[in-house]
Chains A and B, each alone.
Chain A
């Protein structure tokens, strides 16, 4: 890759982050992420509250002391949580780990968010270059820096914006759970949230790189958004279907969404392999994207 300039990449990233917030696409992504996380949280918290209330009422009138840990077990073993975890996570060990060893409520919310995030992140990254290619706005920049700097700068800007969104989302999520249903020990919850934030961020990386690639290949922002959403979701569905049809396990691992939940695991090897795979997907999409961007007419 020729003429990479860190300073240029940083300038472009900084302004892209700021501009995407002002232009609306960043705000839409931020709001979508916050609203979705709160909706998912309330969907899980409401039955959890009911379970806690039921447990409380069953102990009412007895001399037994009511401890938050009693509710933790009740909630962790509730049917809807087990169903949700089993639906999303194939490995039984991982399911048990998420429900028993970690704050189950937070685990479930994070799993659902991990499932939705690849689609949500498309809204924040579909227009990295397509809009400016369409209105030829990139031409003001192309004489001032190399195409690769421009591409990587916009990618980095989107990543930074996504990281900010992830942090805000996870903070809100955890605070919401802690304030609404104060049943988990603070340190455990915040540490688990931190791992969740890392998992969120890691799954966003290849998706943003994929969106960069699509965005630089398509001249219309709307077309780019539609393609991003389709290309993020369809291959994993097809690979899952094909895997079941030909009885080949883990065929879905050929696409980033196949690694969605691997980072919320007790096994450090699984976490390492998942992280490496997601970063490798990111690098691959970035490489292809830069090649396309360098060759195409702008």
Chain B
């Protein structure tokens, strides 16, 4: 048995100059090409331990390829990845500590779901009895214990996705990659999966790729934006969405010219950017958010206009559009 002599990367991640966090996953100069097409171009970033980390990007940005490289499904042309300090070339050393919900992976069609989960658990190092118990427990968590003995062929898309998610949580792994966990699910199923992720994210590092920006904004602590194989943004969610002093307003009726002028005339606002008929972003001066909000509310009241919602900070969607310079083709509401 060979052992790579390459040293592990430093297991610490520096934030804000002084605070240091442990690193769960580290990508270093990852490049992946398919023929002349560069899918990932020199990607480097770290994922802090015990965080919920979102990776977003338009179609073809390289999210799934990056996941595949992290899991060892696909080999990078150059660069390195370490998970919990272990080089991914020696992925078996992470046995039971790492799991994944792969995108579009199918279970063996004619085989009962439970039997497949038992096999996965046995490979995770459990005895047959432990494996059976853990698999049933995992099925219970995703509310599918009644389909345990059904073959994978008999499952709907939503059920398959939940079983796939359940296999990712078997054995209490430390790092979990979830590739589009709610893609193709109805809102009910999607919500229950989001709840599940929230519930099980304690003391775990969960990395989620998704088209659903609202989902990422709600669940994740950190986010990385990929575009055309390049890393265009990487920061904590808080830093990202409050990067500018922005207040997002949604009105019950369309924005009138009078209100527009009244709001832009305020001493605390510097810019109004209309994002829709009833929505706009206000850039505020450094006079304090409280004061600004007060002034905005009273101006709207004077104009007899009522806000449907007022949110501080930039939305992930607008930040996403800004850094990718393109159209958002995902779903931000389910």
Give the contacts of B108-132 with A (CB-CB under 8 A): 108-111, 115-116, 119-120, 122-124
Contacts A136-B105, A137-B107; A297 near B75 (Cβ below 8 A): yes
Asked if residues A8 and B1 are in contact (CB atoms below 8 Å), the reply is no
Task: List residues of chain A with CB within 8 A of the CB of B109.
Answer: 23
Cβ of A19 within 8 Å of any chain B Cβ, yes or no, is: yes
A21 CB to nearest chain B CB (Å): 10
Residues A143 and B100 in contact, CB atoms below 8 Å apart: yes
Q: Is the CB of A135 within 8 A of B106?
A: yes
The answer to whether A297 touches B74 (Cβ under 8 A) is: yes
| B260 CB contacts on chain A under 8 angstroms | none
Q: Could you tell me if A23 and B110 are in contact, using CB atoms closer than 8 angstroms? A: yes
Chain B interface residue number, banded: 35 or more
Nearest to A145 among chain B residues (CB) is: B123
Which one of A11, A132, A295, A298 contacts B123 once the chains associate, using CB atoms below 8 Å?
A11
Decide: B106 and A136 in contact? CB cutoff 8 A: yes
Q: Which residues of B contact A297 (CB under 8 A)?
A: 68, 73-75
Q: Is A5 an interface residue (CB 8 A)?
A: yes
Interface positions, chain A 14-48, Cβ under 8 Å from B, are 15, 18-19, 22-24
Residues of A within 8 A of B92 (CB): 3, 5, 145-146, 149
**Is A298's CB under 8 angstroms from B73's CB?**
yes
In the complex, what distance in Å separates the CA atom of A297 from the CA atom of B102?
14
Q: Given A2-B1, A5-B92: A142 and B106 within 8 A (CB)? A: no
Contact between B106 and A137 (Cβ–Cβ < 8 Å)?
A: yes
B91, A143: Cβ atoms closer than 8 Å: yes
B143 within 8 A of A: no
> Are B75 and A142 in contact, CB atoms less than 8 angstroms apart?
no
Q: CA separation between A149 and B91, bound complex, in Å? A: 13
Q: Mark B84-97, 1 if CB is under 8 A from A, else 0.
A: 00000011101110
The size class of the interface chain A forms with chain B is 20 to 34
Complex formed: what's the CA distance from A23 to B109 in Å? Answer: 8
How many Å lie between the Cα of A297 and that of B74 in the bound state?
A: 4
Instruction: Decide yes or no whether A144 CB sits under 8 A from chain B.
Output: yes
Q: When the two chains form their complex, are residues A137 and B105 in contact, meaning their CB atoms are under 8 A apart?
A: yes
Shortest Cβ gap from B23 to chain A (Å)? 19
* CB-defined contacts of A143 to chain B, threshold 8 Å: 71-72, 91, 94, 98-100
Whether A139 contacts B100 by the Cβ 8 Å rule is yes
On whether the beta carbons of B122 and A140 are closer than 8 Å, the reply is: no
What is the distance, in angstroms, from A282's C-beta to the closest C-beta of chain B? 23
Q: Which residue of B lies closest to A22 (CB)?
A: B110
B53-103 residues at the A interface, CB under 8 angstroms: 68, 71-75, 90-92, 94-96, 98-100, 102
Contact A4 B98 (CB under 8 A): no
A14 to chain B, nearest CB (A): 9
CB distance from A45 to the nearest CB of B (A): 37
Q: Is the CB of B110 within 8 A of A136?
A: no
Beta-carbon contact of B73 and A141 below 8 Å: no
User: Is there an interface contact between A11 and B108, defined as CB atoms closer than 8 Å?
Assistant: no
Chain A residue numbers with a CB within 8 Å of B95 are 144-145
The proximity string for B residues 1-38 relative to A, scoring 1 for CB distances below 8 Å and 0 otherwise, is 11000000000000000000000000000000000000
- Compute how far the CA of A15 lies from the CA of B92 in the bound complex, rounded to whole angstroms: 20
Chain B residues near A18: list those with CB within 8 A.
115
Evaluate whether A15 and B74 lie within 8 angstroms (CB atoms) in the complex, with A136-B105, A143-B98, A145-B92 already known: no
Residues on A with beta carbons closer than 8 Å to the beta carbon of B99: 143
Identify which of A144, A149, A295, A298 contacts B124 (C-beta below 8 A): A144
**Complex alpha-carbon distance, A298 and B73, angstroms:** 5
CA distance in complex: A183, B102 (Å): 61
Interface residue? B104 (CB, 8 A): yes
Cβ contacts A122-147/B at 8 Å (1 or 0 each): 00000000001001110111111110
Give A168 to B140 CA distance when docked, in angstroms: 41
Task: State in angstroms the CA–CA spacing of A163 and B1 once bound together.
Answer: 30
Decide if B120 touches A141 in the complex (CB within 8 Å). Answer: yes
Bound-complex Cα distance A234 to B91 (A): 39
B315 within 8 Å of A (CB atoms): no
Provide the residues of chain B in CB contact with A15, threshold 8 Å: 115, 119
In the bound assembly, the distance between CA atoms of A4 and B2 in angstroms comes to 11
Report the separation of the CA atoms of residues A16 and B72 in the bound assembly, to the nearest whole angstrom: 22
Q: Please tell me if the beta carbons of A144 and B120 are within 8 angstroms of each other in the complex.
A: yes
Which residue of the partner chain, among A4, A12, A136, contacts B104 with CB atoms under 8 Å? A136
Give the residue name and chain of the B residue nearest to A132 (CB): B108
Judged by a CB distance under 8 angstroms, whether B167 is at the interface is: yes
Known: A19-B111, A23-B111. A144 touches B106 (CB 8 A): no
The answer to whether A24 touches B75 (Cβ under 8 A) is no
State the CA gap A140–B108 with chains docked (Å). 10
Residue of B75, B90, B102 near A136 (CB, 8 A) is B102
> How distant is the Cα of A211 from the Cα of B105 in the complex, in angstroms?
23
Evaluate contact between B110 and A24: CB separation under 8 angstroms: yes
B73-A142 in contact (CB<8A): yes
Q: List 15 A-B contacts (CB under 8 A).
A: A5-B92, A11-B122, A18-B115, A19-B108, A22-B110, A22-B111, A23-B108, A136-B102, A140-B105, A142-B71, A144-B120, A146-B91, A297-B68, A297-B75, A298-B73
Interface positions of B (Cβ within 8 A of A): 1-2, 68, 71-75, 90-92, 94-96, 98-100, 102, 104-111, 115-116, 119-120, 122-124, 164, 167
A interface with B by C-beta (< 8 Å): 2-5, 8, 11-12, 15, 18-19, 22-24, 132, 135-137, 139-146, 149, 295, 297-298
Known: A11-B123, A144-B124. 7 other contacts (CB 8 A): A19-B108, A23-B109, A135-B106, A139-B73, A140-B167, A142-B72, A142-B91
| Smallest CB-CB A-B distances: 9 pairs | A144-B123, A139-B102, A136-B105, A135-B106, A139-B105, A297-B74, A3-B92, A15-B119, A2-B2
